[in-house]
Chain A
């Protein structure tokens, strides 16, 4: 038994719903108790779909358990077929129906419907949402992908590919697809089938006609892509084109597989990110400490972009996708850190605090954790809330995706010039010494971290004493370890040393926005050396010690 307040992923039948809802002409009959229809509103409210998901639930109740729930299931399948006339159906059980052990596959087969009926076995007590989506898509592809297409001569026609992976409730899947289609078109590659999003069962029957497959989201489509590779010998491009470098790599790989020239697509300046990142206003981004958490696809991409395209320092990397733990650990090792592989958001919260991050890139959950800790944050991965299914075009993939990422990640940080000016004029009389150097506004008070009771950093303490809290990275040496309790100007760390008056005066000459850190570093320096009195000398000794 696991104690859970928040889950990053739903149960596996939600994954199956994401595939069914993405497709056309497919219907899902789910053996499930009354109440499981709550899942509909993820699609109708969060993604704002204008139709109910194509799912019929048996919604059995306690009084049905004594009788024949199997008959209820059969009736539901028959009625759904009559009403919706789908091209194919998937049938399966939710967690409760799994326990009552009716056999959806066998029961549906007995009806001998004139369409393919694909049974799903989704172990609800072992697996989760993304696995459910992957398994469902794999089963559909395996059943429906048809016989091997006749090899048509390549001469005189454009190469073609399938795009695999976009689903309903996917983070920016709609817009990623637009970007990828544009790239492929510019390369001279035709798109044969996109699946599951927008595909019908008949479309899945045409998968074999393509020359190769593009797997956009490995957690959903890798299994299906591998099956097609085995069955049709279709090569698979699995590079996830998030970020400028990854997109270039993606274009080159597609071009190599398709036998076309990538140069026209890559020429010029297809993304603004490189120039924006090189412009002097971005200098202040250098070494910003960033914590990255999300699904495997987006967390891996974000870590690479953060380090190599924005010049951040990745101080934390993790994922809730245990299936991809090895890849995440390998990437973390490149940044010299240990990966956080967990689906417990309290562990993520602790890891964020310990990392002393200045920017958090994560899911909806990390957005809330960051809000609590008073840290800037941007969302890079599901689970997400309604605002991350925006009306405007906002892909993550491709060159336009890179532009979106630059804006989205930098926005919560203050623009460099703004930060500099605020700092310069901070001690002018117009500026209140207590105002936070942040867009969050003067009224913003970060909450004390929830589990900081035992000596964790309590950000609000310094605030009460009127000392500025360095919420942004000052251009001074960042503390290499976790922040000391004294960060923010509190006196709790100076129990063993006192400040000499002239040292205190000297400290005041240091710009306010690095003063908190200077004080903390100096006090730690003094404490470690058991110096009873902090002098001007100590101050500069500490500066030299902690300096780069």
Chain B
């Protein structure tokens, strides 16, 4: 309820109804990004500086993963720490010292800010500089904020990647034009994209984040970058400050999105039409084959998205254009109009997009609309199911490989499964 009354600013862009709403928000904070980021950068460690609540959140989000010697932890502040700031920096240094001694394989340490550390204005960027100096050359220390007051769920990845950008080596001024794919993707998806780019003759192609801390890609005036995820506003800005140029594209979800995304790179690198088609044809054919069985299950189904990850608009585009679904409401925690321009152009006229949230009001709208499928977080899913609404819990869309041609069928299946299940259960 962080506004006295919901704002109802309407806007017309390509016939879309875009509305902003403020109020109670049922969303994760940016700390949650750690759960998938730590698996991507294999020699990085994420140390949250926060409260017991932060530690509890991460363990709830990480579930069973927490026991596989995870590369994340929380330095829990206690009352003693809150007494004086000087003491707190010493405490932090001691915690980091213990951690580095225990985990000598760690090359990159992220100090991750939380709501409590932001509110008391503990300067983690200074702490990171200080610790970087004392731990050099073995460990590099960076900082970013994953706090709920500043970041929503996937924005934690944005903040993390943005903190990496100044660390990227400078590309030589006369370097050949290179392609940078930005956003953590499953390794299997990354490899598929690398193969397709290579068949199109695009190169060099690099990925941010890299799989190892010491192998972050170079960046400079000759870098063209493609966002693989829609939630990377700050990372994009930081890359542009280093001279890189964004290639406008839809996001690589579904067969159409993937083609549009690859085409943006092909056009920028002057790939001939015939070569582009040759490189994408097998993927397109397989995607079409994989999607076909789910189309019958999803066509004309009315879908309602609660805000969660900023993936909602590309997912809505995929469901409506490729699967024939109808969009009741597309909630998103934050709408980057520039990055989502190509996506919004593909949405059907009249689509209602709601940026932000007033939870109880949105639940009222959802109940009233009685959609066939509601995409929402785990706090809402079972309560809505109990009210008779079929739901798809959204966090799975971050942990499952869904991008690219060869995952298009898996993506459709994620939405079809709850509907199929409903038809099977007779009790």
Contacts and interface: CB of A to CB of B under 8 A. Distances in A.
Interface of A: 1-7, 9-11, 13-14, 33-42, 44-45, 48-52, 56-62, 64-65, 71-72, 75-76, 79-80, 83, 94-96, 99-100, 123-126, 128, 365, 368, 372, 385, 450
B4 A71 contact: yes
B4 A41 contact: no
A346 to B, nearest CB: 9
A412 B43 CA distance: 37
A407 B253 CA distance: 49
A99 B117 CA distance: 10
Contact of A125 (B51, B57, B60): B51
B382 interface: yes
10 contacts: A3-B73, A6-B55, A59-B25, A59-B148, A61-B2, A62-B118, A64-B149, A96-B149, A123-B79, A126-B79
Interface stretch (B90-98, B235-243, B316-324, B417-425): B90-98
Nearest to B69: A450
Interface stretch (B10-18, B343-351, B372-380): B372-380
Given A51-B386, A75-B1, A5 B66 contact: yes
Contact of A95 (B53, B63, B73): B53
B94 A38 contact: no
Interface stretch (B26-34, B129-137, B170-178, B292-300): B26-34
Interface in B65-123: 66-67, 69-70, 72-79, 81-82, 88, 91-92, 94-95, 98-99, 115-116, 118-120
Contacts of A95: 51-53, 115-116
B52 A44 contact: no
Nearest to B98: A3
A64 B3 CA distance: 9
Chain B interface size range:
35 or more
Nearest to A61: B149
Interface string B43-60: 000000101110111011
B74 A4 contact: yes
B29 A4 contact: no
B24 interface: yes
A36 B94 CA distance: 28
Most buried by B among A10, A38, A45, A58: A38
A43 B29 CA distance: 18
A37 B57 CA distance: 10
Contacts of B119: 65, 96, 99-100
A83 B51 contact: no
B216 interface: no
Contacts of A99: 82, 116, 119-120
A466 B126 CA distance: 54
B1 A48 contact: no
A64 B149 CA distance: 9
9 A-B pairs closest in CB distance: A35-B148, A35-B29, A40-B379, A50-B386, A76-B1, A96-B115, A95-B51, A1-B91, A41-B378
A79 B74 contact: no
Interface of B: 1-4, 24-32, 49, 51-53, 55-57, 59-61, 63-64, 66-67, 69-70, 72-79, 81-82, 88, 91-92, 94-95, 98-99, 115-116, 118-120, 147-150, 152, 360, 377-383, 385-386
A78 B13 CA distance: 36
A498 to B, nearest CB: 37
Given A60-B2, A96-B116, A99-B116, A35 B27 contact: yes
A1 B148 contact: no
Contact of A1 (B3, B66, B88): B88
Nearest to A41: B378
Contact of B82 (A40, A125, A385): A125
A495 to B, nearest CB: 28
A76 B22 CA distance: 12
Contacts of B49: 1
Given A48-B382, A57-B24, A72-B1, A36 B53 contact: yes
B51 A96 contact: yes
Contacts of B24: 56-59, 76
Given A5-B66, A35-B29, A50 B382 contact: yes
Given A75-B4, A76-B1, 14 more contacts: A1-B95, A4-B74, A7-B76, A33-B29, A37-B26, A41-B60, A45-B381, A51-B383, A58-B2, A60-B149, A61-B148, A61-B150, A83-B360, A99-B120
A313 to B, nearest CB: 27
A51 B380 CA distance: 8
B205 to A, nearest CB: 35
A42 B1 contact: no
Nearest to A383: B59
Nearest to B57: A38
Given A11-B52, A57-B24, A61-B2, A38 B60 contact: yes
B78 A11 contact: no
Contacts of A79: 1, 360
A71 B5 CA distance: 12
Nearest to B395: A41
Contact of B115 (A9, A33, A52, A125): A33
Contacts of B3: 72
A253 to B, nearest CB: 36
A6 B58 CA distance: 9
Contacts of A1: 49, 75-78, 81, 88, 91-92, 94-95
A37 B360 CA distance: 13
A36 B24 CA distance: 11
Nearest to B156: A35
A125 B78 contact: yes
Nearest to A3: B95
A294 to B, nearest CB: 17
B51 A34 contact: no
Contacts of A38: 28-29, 32, 57, 60-61, 379
Given A33-B148, A125-B79, A3 B99 contact: yes
A365 B67 CA distance: 8
A40 to B, nearest CB: 3
A5 B73 contact: yes
A2 B53 contact: no
A130 B289 CA distance: 54
B377 A41 contact: yes
Contacts of A9: 52
A101 to B, nearest CB: 10
B77 A125 contact: yes
A44 B381 CA distance: 8
Nearest to A7: B55
A7 B78 contact: no
B4 A2 contact: no
B59 A7 contact: yes
A34 B118 CA distance: 13
A200 B150 CA distance: 37
Most buried by B among A4, A49, A385: A4
Contacts of A42: 60
A62 B53 CA distance: 18
Contacts of B81: 1, 125
A10 to B, nearest CB: 4
Contacts of A39: 56, 60
Given A1-B95, A96-B119, A44 B382 contact: yes
A7 B152 CA distance: 23
Contacts of B67: 6, 365, 368, 372
Contacts of B381: 44-45
A94 B56 CA distance: 13
Given A41-B379, A99-B119, A10 B52 contact: yes
Contacts of A41: 60, 377-379
A13 B26 CA distance: 17
A34 B148 contact: yes
A204 B393 CA distance: 37
A62 B57 contact: no
Contacts of B79: 123, 125-126
Contacts of B94: 1
Most buried by A among B2, B29, B386: B2
